[in-house]
Amino acid sequence: MNDLLFLTAQLADAIHLLDCMANEVDKKRGIAILEEIHTRFLSELQSGGWISVADRLPEPAETVLVFMDNGVWSGFHDTENWFIHGWSKNPFKVSHWQPMPQPPKASE
């Protein structure tokens, strides 16, 4: 979550810098792209990090957290189907996903 807050602030700064230095055509195109990214990050922050499968999918075969009507699981997709670790039935109806959290750091 802190990474998203940091990236959101960085995108806002980039939008401001682009506004100050680019020619008019490039400025409008660049600002539109950065504002779209900024809006997406804010949406993910407000949703607790969950991303709707209707909005975007993770990379194929990337293990992520998935949300289904019976809970949260880890799984991946192959562009056509979702696979849930430890389950053999298919297909699964995944509504949302989010990247796996970072593993804990080893204590020194």
Residue 26 pLDDT? 73
Backbone angles phi, psi at 64, to 5 degrees: -135, 170
Angstrom distance (rounded) from CA 83 to CA 11:
34
Residues of the chain with pLDDT under 70: 1-8, 21-22, 41-47, 108
pTM strictly above 0.85: no
Q: Where are the domains of the chain?
A: 2-49, 52-99
